[in-house]
Structure 1
């Protein structure tokens, strides 16, 4: 989960980081019969050339060979399977060898475009792609799949300074979301996405769903396994999120994770001669003081400013992966000298800002999905208490003066169905947790493993969010052996950094 400023940021940083076959009817939540709330027959997918892929720079992206895009109609309201439909946007990278079936990915968010993500990252899964069609999709409410849009109000929130009336801005944002996406808002959320996922499984012609989920994708996978345990195939949940925790718990646990990541960065930076300080403590203080200073003195970047809220995102973005640590050093050093171009670009990458100043649906979709998935609506007193705890742990993510948790004014009431996890009766599920993961700290991997009841935990002792994506040979070998050969890792499997 991600969120800029407290209304988006707190408790939602977690989640970031595509053969046609015959069809079969999607099975029920016990995997044996038609399920109320899902279509009784599966649609087919018409695959064709991809024409609207977008790269990380917001510009058109041309995929490699064997990549196709398609659409799958699904009910807007799963309670009325014969009613209005929306199209899920899909992408597929066809298997290069002896095909076992399809392997579906969710790359996190909630709100990330699976279509664009797989198009850009398919080479990272080349080994899996020898035996599987690699498939991903934009979940409902995201980007091409009836993506939630909210006018230009989100841009105004991001450009605001620390003294702005954040609650007033949020109310305007919510009104715009209701005005532009009111039809889809009651029907987003992880439970609905899991039902879509089962329709996708059927449309792909697979008896069971083979799945890899990163970050928020672990939540979606866990909810799917809870509702459709008998349809679980080879499941990998990497960088696990435990949806049962409260808003305050999420905020504090993530603050702890990012504090640990910043300190690990500082130690690494000093060991290599660091522009930000001579000791790890000095480096941490430099970064914290710089972000705090943005409250009163934003840094000009052309006709824009690196505000406090954008500065928060700019700093945490490179903490997601150890490979990005040098960028944090260089960008912060340059910004302290008045050039915040790189930091602003990092913040823009996090929020999905395009070159023309508009935004993709990442952050607006995230807000809609999170508000659907949680009945919890923190009070002003809870927000203040949470902020005080966060500031003591990781002041970079402080949110003084913000009294709303983001969903207080949302037009759709949330519920807690997506927080219930129990995959009893499913095939073995592999959960991967990283000891140095800042966004989904390791404790969530252990708790999600226990809640699933059918899972085995693989521990990665290194840094970064998304163990498989670090390229660690042990993690990749373990996951590949399970997904390709069905070899379930032994209990206690650990991959050293």
Structure 2
């Protein structure tokens, strides 16, 4: 199963729209004949997204009538052998809407995952960054292993349908063996189909790609907006290239000090908090909450639903059923944003009546499946990048010993997230470290934005990031809100502080709080 503690659902906008209403690889041209920093990008109209990027239509024109432009940048397959084979990194940009004389440079976005396609996500959220576009070219990319950038592939669509229907919270020895075998089978498929790229998708590799992109774009400094896993990528970049950091914002901050186990445990607490907040919000409405009479009743009814689904799934989206695992991941998807709470309410109402369609649809988007039954490579890339980054390899016995701790953190999500720590068992590539190094002495100030109600990257991670970056580098801003991230909540205080920093270089006072 995808590691939710590191995974940002990359299709939030697509989910809202749907609920309310070929691929580049490693180059075969041998060694490089030129300095990659001198390459010129050929910007053209963007094509429709490839399957690895999630499919769909080409991005719509910008609000002012301008077009999104796409290009590819060559980068070394192996940064330890920069003169060797290359891969193509897919790019997208919207040129600045303001006067050239006021242009600061490019603002590079990474929206998280790992495994999310920046080429498809930036246009989906483009209107949210219109103010920033007045002084920046908005730029994003598919990190290596993702989308059109030498994508990692593992199982096919039919196999993934089965994989995501499996019981990811095994209750006995037979179920545990089946779960571990399924993980091993998935990981073996990744090695078989993508073995060449697997050693080269670490976050340190993506950070080096970003510095190459900075140079190719002609910028002296990297101006950056990282969300969720994008904050980890930004922190690693700052560690490797502190002298090249320009104005950078980290939003929905990954705790860089945690091991994968600690990250999963923290997220169990985070999703439980978000579920508590959802239940409290529902029962506080003027009309009766349709999924429970009290906060405790809402949570008790959800727990009973999941228990019942463990032994008896209900119809979902034909021919697939809503299983306990799919329902759990669907609920998690809805908790990423307060905007989705209405869909969670409707989905629970349906499920209590024996219809699992909405919860299964939410689960599909978390896993990168579109309505045509095609999967992007979100799950494959998520596994590949996490397992290349993370050194720990956990065992079934270790997870069993830790289950009481996870259940104490969350009765609903504890088992699910505990067992997800086995996702890198028997992975083909050794993990790099227990956790990333983001220490960046000498770097320019980095604005670190933490959200007190964030389920996926709990609030404490922002403070840990500030401490890890080092004295005088990280500047913390607190948003007292709900959902994954702060800037896209459209809170005026948060957006005002971020905009003033990115556009005018005004660093907010340490300890600033927005609500």
TM score, norm. by length of structure 2: 0.87
Q: Check whether the contact 1:248–1:386 (CA below 8 A) recurs between aligned residues.
A: no
Counterparts of residues 170-185 of structure 1 (less than 5 Å):
170-185=183-198
Residue 289 of structure 1 corresponds to which residue in structure 2? 304
Q: Check whether the contact 1:235–1:428 (CA below 8 A) recurs between aligned residues.
A: yes
Shift of 1:292: 2.5
Shift of 1:418: 6.0
**Is 1:158 the counterpart of 2:164 in the alignment?**
yes
Shift of 1:463: 1.0
- Pick one of 198, 207, 212 that aligns with 1:199: 212
In the TM superposition, what whole-angstrom CA distance separates every residue of 1:437-494 from its partner, at most 9, and x where no partner exists?
A: 1111111100101110111000001111110000000000000000000001111111
In the TM superposition, what whole-angstrom CA distance separates every residue of 1:388-415 from its partner, at most 9, and x where no partner exists?
A: 2222322322437959611121000111
Residue 229 of structure 1 corresponds to which residue in structure 2? 242
**Is 1:125 the counterpart of 2:125 in the alignment?**
no
My pick for the range that moved more, 60-69 or 309-318, is 60-69
**Is 1:68 the counterpart of 2:65 in the alignment?**
no
TM score, norm. by length of structure 1: 0.91
Distance 1:333 1:324 in 2: 14
SS in 2 for 1:365: helix
- Pick one of 149, 152, 155 that aligns with 1:148: 152
Residue 330 of structure 1 corresponds to which residue in structure 2? 346
Shift of 1:387: 2.6
Distance 1:408 1:69 in 2: 37
Q: Check whether the contact 2:258–2:435 (CA below 8 A) recurs between aligned residues.
A: no
- Pick one of 2, 6, 9 that aligns with 2:3: 9
Counterparts of residues 27-426 of structure 1 (less than 5 Å):
41-53=37-49, 58-64=55-61, 65-98=66-99, 99-152=103-156, 153-161=159-167, 165-272=178-285, 273-301=288-316, 302-399=318-415, 402=419, 405-416=422-433, 419-426=436-443
The 3 A distance-change label for structure 1 pair 306 and 58 is farther
Equivalences, count: 470
Residue 22 of structure 1 corresponds to which residue in structure 2? none
Q: Check whether the contact 2:202–2:388 (CA below 8 A) recurs between aligned residues.
A: yes
Q: Check whether the contact 2:268–2:414 (CA below 8 A) recurs between aligned residues.
A: no
Residue 427 of structure 1 corresponds to which residue in structure 2? 444
My pick for the range that moved more, 55-64 or 140-149, is 55-64
Distance 2:456 2:420 in 1: 23
My pick for the range that moved more, 391-400 or 324-333, is 391-400
Distance 1:223 1:48 in 2: 31
Residue 33 of structure 1 corresponds to which residue in structure 2? none
| Greater than 4 Å deviation, 4+ residue runs | 13-17, 54-58, 400-404
In the TM superposition, what whole-angstrom CA distance separates every residue of 1:186-229 from its partner, at most 9, and x where no partner exists?
A: 10010000000000101111000000000000000000000000
Residue 19 of structure 2 corresponds to which residue in structure 1? none
SS in 1 for 2:423: coil
Q: Check whether the contact 1:54–1:60 (CA below 8 A) recurs between aligned residues.
A: no
Shift of 1:39: 6.5
The 3 A distance-change label for structure 1 pair 283 and 182 is same
Gaps in structure 1 of 5+ consecutive residues? 18-37
Q: Check whether the contact 2:259–2:435 (CA below 8 A) recurs between aligned residues.
A: no
Q: Check whether the contact 1:14–1:254 (CA below 8 A) recurs between aligned residues.
A: no
SS in 2 for 1:457: strand
Gaps in structure 2 of 5+ consecutive residues? 13-33
Residue 477 of structure 1 corresponds to which residue in structure 2? 496
Distance 1:317 1:218 in 2: 20
SS in 2 for 1:460: strand
The 3 A distance-change label for structure 1 pair 238 and 121 is same
Q: Check whether the contact 2:108–2:225 (CA below 8 A) recurs between aligned residues.
A: yes
SS in 2 for 1:45: coil
Shift of 1:97: 0.5
In the TM superposition, what whole-angstrom CA distance separates every residue of 1:332-385 from its partner, at most 9, and x where no partner exists?
A: 111110111111110111111123322101111000000011111112232113
Distance 2:420 2:92 in 1: 40
Distance 1:404 1:212 in 2: 28
Q: Check whether the contact 1:39–1:75 (CA below 8 A) recurs between aligned residues.
A: no
Distance 2:9 2:251 in 1: 11
